[in-house]
Amino acid sequence: MTEMMSQASTSKTYDAIVIGSGMTGGVAARELTEKGMQVLMLERGTALNHPGEYVGEHAPNWSIPFGGLADYQNYKKDYPVQSKSYAFDEATKPHWIKDSDEPYLQEEGTNFEWMRGGRVGGRSLMWGRQTYRWGPHDFTANAEDGHGVDWPIRYEDLAPWYSHVEKYIGVSGQKEGLESFPDGEFQKPMEMYALEKRIKRRLARHASDITYTIGRSAVLTEPLEGRSPCHYCGACPRGCSTGSYFSTQSSTLPAAMKTGNLTLRPESAVQKIIYDSATGKATGVQVKDMKSGASLVYKARIIFLNASTIHSAQILLNSKSAAFPNGLANSSGVVGRYLMDHNEHSTNLGIFFDDIDRYFSGKRPNGCYIPRFRNIGGQDEDADFLRGYGIQCNVVRLDHRFTMHQKGIGADYKDAIRKPGPWVFAMSAFGECLPYQENKITLDESRRDAFDMPLVKIRMEFGENEHQMRKDVTQQADRILKAAGAVAIIPDDGSEKPISAIHEMGTVRMGKDAKTSALNGWNQSHDVPNLFVTDGAAMTSSGNVNPSLTYMAFTARAADYAAKLWKKGEL
């Protein structure tokens, strides 16, 4: 996309600057440019040409370096955190940041794995594509149990924007008609495995409170805006030139480019947002050009901050002025605080004897889902934790990667590991995490990263509620696996794990009160009216479903609001 864009100009005043080209920055750019605004998108990562420049795409197994074995010497040095992701390997590596370029600090005794994208497209390039709406209860939870401040909006406010975004990102899924797990605008669902159909039938009989549905996934099953349906090659995070999964690159960036109103500037690291105390507004941003090292200033009437939860807080905290000595838009002091991530610490497995003679063709990049069934419509009597969790379920036919660990040498061993092993049903819960003031990011001014930003220091820990919830997941998973017909169950081992759901959110939260929140119900700064923060930072609570669709719906809604004010000349 880079060839066709105009040069960014430091003398012009843009209608809007969008900081970050990831999942939410892409949506902001599309929405604002389609409304006729001149937009400059600043992305510190490097350019990437879609389609075609995905280095690992459709790589034959035998061309992958080291047979795909983790290049541990290199990873220890340059990718100690990123390499822990299931989606990181030699074929996806170009999409990730190098930890050695931008390390972060952690408070002693805490362990949070911060996964990040290093290209135009951010983490939309390698995300897992699971796409769910929040339910109405998610927006009332804080008000009801008193953890965190009340959300300034309700489900009904966001519902039309969910629909709006779903229609163009493309989501395949099955309607279930549940109030707590709202249906969306779906393309036809993906097929289930024979074993999944069997499990669904058994659960309907033996655990009828459980809904078991095909994953709702931002992977196409029908053509959309020149993008092709999935061809089931199975390795999405390597990139997809047919645009079959949603990313900034496949969807929002081409749409924004088409308007002729977008200027994209990669390798542009935003350092600060510049504030003018005379007008009470942000006037632009200071950027470090990563190619020349030059410091540049770009001007705009409106700023959309979409650098991802932690980076957006980092930029605000780094934007100090006499008016905002603790960071821009931070008169409340909440910026950087109430960091949340999903509780994904309980994974439970069941082994099945069914369907030994059933197999599959095509690699379906999607699993099944059990929506939240705990504490819906009031606290369950037997639940000693608040809120709830959903469960991502995958059936996997084991192959040599799992079975090679058996004893044996020679023909018999070779023959045993060449054939499929048993079916395994893996259940990974993603649970809500309460907003705690102590979970936070701060800046260490004494150290700078490759982008010349002060290092982020993270303190992220789960509390008692999350620990209790984890125990409940393991109990419930046992019940569900038995109902599903597992012959052997391998429960969660309860061991300490890093916090690593890659659903970090909530460092610049929304709220009704400017004293206890940074943003109003339009993702607009209480302090600085032409500043909008619409990524995960804005979240007031964490819900339990994968969050990106909700960030995108908020972004589209905020962009619509900002564009209306811009048209009226109010911003």
Partner 1 sequence: MAIGQGTAGMSFPRRDFLLAAAVTATGGAIMYSKGLAAMLADGDHSGHDMPMMGRPAYVDQAVEVFSTEKRALVSAMAETLLPQTGTPGAIDAQVPKFLELLYDQWMAAPEKQLFDRGLAETDRQAQAAHGKVFADCEAAEQKVVLEKMEEEQGDHPWFNFGGTSVADDQDDIPFMALFKEITVVGFFMSEVGAQQVLRYDMMPGNFDGDTSLGYDDSSWASVPFM
Quick one: which of 47, 502, 510, 563 contacts ligand FAD (CB under 6 A)? 502
Distance CA 75, CA 331 (A): 41
User: Is residue 51 close enough to count as binding partner 1 by CB under 8 A?
Assistant: yes
Which of partner 1, ligand FAD, none has residue 243 at its interface (CB below 5 to 8 Å by kind)? partner 1
User: Is residue 127 close enough to count as binding ligand FAD by CB under 6 A?
Assistant: yes
Which of ligand FAD, partner 1, none has residue 342 at its interface (CB below 5 to 8 Å by kind)? none
User: Is residue 398 close enough to count as binding partner 1 by CB under 8 A?
Assistant: yes
What is the SS3 assignment for 454?
strand
Quick one: which of 8, 35, 38, 45 contacts ligand FAD (CB under 6 A)? 45
User: Is residue 475 close enough to count as binding partner 1 by CB under 8 A?
Assistant: no
User: Is residue 87 close enough to count as binding ligand FAD by CB under 6 A?
Assistant: yes
Residue 571 beta carbon to partner 1: minimum distance, rounded to whole angstroms: 37
Which of partner 1, ligand FAD, none has residue 21 at its interface (CB below 5 to 8 Å by kind)? ligand FAD
Quick one: which of 311, 364, 440, 459 contacts ligand FAD (CB under 6 A)? 311
Buried b (16+ CB within 10 A) or exposed e, 325-352: eebbbbbbebbbbbbbbbbbbbbbbbbb
Quick one: which of 39, 42, 302, 417 contacts ligand FAD (CB under 6 A)? 42
Quick one: which of 7, 11, 208, 361 contacts partner 1 (CB under 8 A)? 361
Stretch that binds ligand FAD, among 161-169, 380-388, 463-471, 543-551 (CB under 6 A): 543-551
User: Is residue 536 close enough to count as binding ligand FAD by CB under 6 A?
Assistant: yes
Which bin fits 431, alpha (ψ -120 to 50), beta or left (φ > 0)? beta
Which residue matches tokens 């949506």? 27
Residue 21 beta carbon to partner 1: minimum distance, rounded to whole angstroms: 19
User: Is residue 128 close enough to count as binding ligand FAD by CB under 6 A?
Assistant: yes
What is the SS3 assignment for 263?
strand
Question: Exposed (0-12), middle (13-18) or buried (19+): which is 543, by Cβ within 10 Å?
Answer: buried
Distance CA 242, CA 531 (A): 35
Distance CA 189, CA 19 (A): 34
Quick one: which of 34, 58, 85, 360 contacts ligand FAD (CB under 6 A)? 85
Distance CA 175, CA 168 (A): 18
Distance CA 176, CA 181 (A): 8
Quick one: which of 119, 164, 364, 372 contacts partner 1 (CB under 8 A)? 364
Say if CB 565 and CB 55 are below 8 A apart: no
Which of partner 1, ligand FAD, none has residue 422 at its interface (CB below 5 to 8 Å by kind)? none
Buried b (16+ CB within 10 A) or exposed e, 505-538: bbbbbbbeeeeebbbbbbbbbbbbbbbbbbbbbb
Residue number with CB closer to ligand FAD (246 or 385): 246
CB atoms closer than 10 angstroms to residue 366: 27
Stretch that binds ligand FAD, among 17-25, 249-257, 383-391, 520-528 (CB under 6 A): 17-25
Distance CA 106, CA 442 (A): 10
User: Is residue 267 close enough to count as binding ligand FAD by CB under 6 A?
Assistant: no
User: Is residue 187 close enough to count as binding ligand FAD by CB under 6 A?
Assistant: no
Distance CA 345, CA 556 (A): 32
Quick one: which of 32, 169, 235, 393 contacts partner 1 (CB under 8 A)? 235
Residue ranges that bind ligand FAD, judged by CB under 6 A: 19-25, 42-45, 85, 87, 115, 117, 122-124, 126-130, 269-270, 306-308, 311, 315, 502-503, 535-536, 546-548, 551
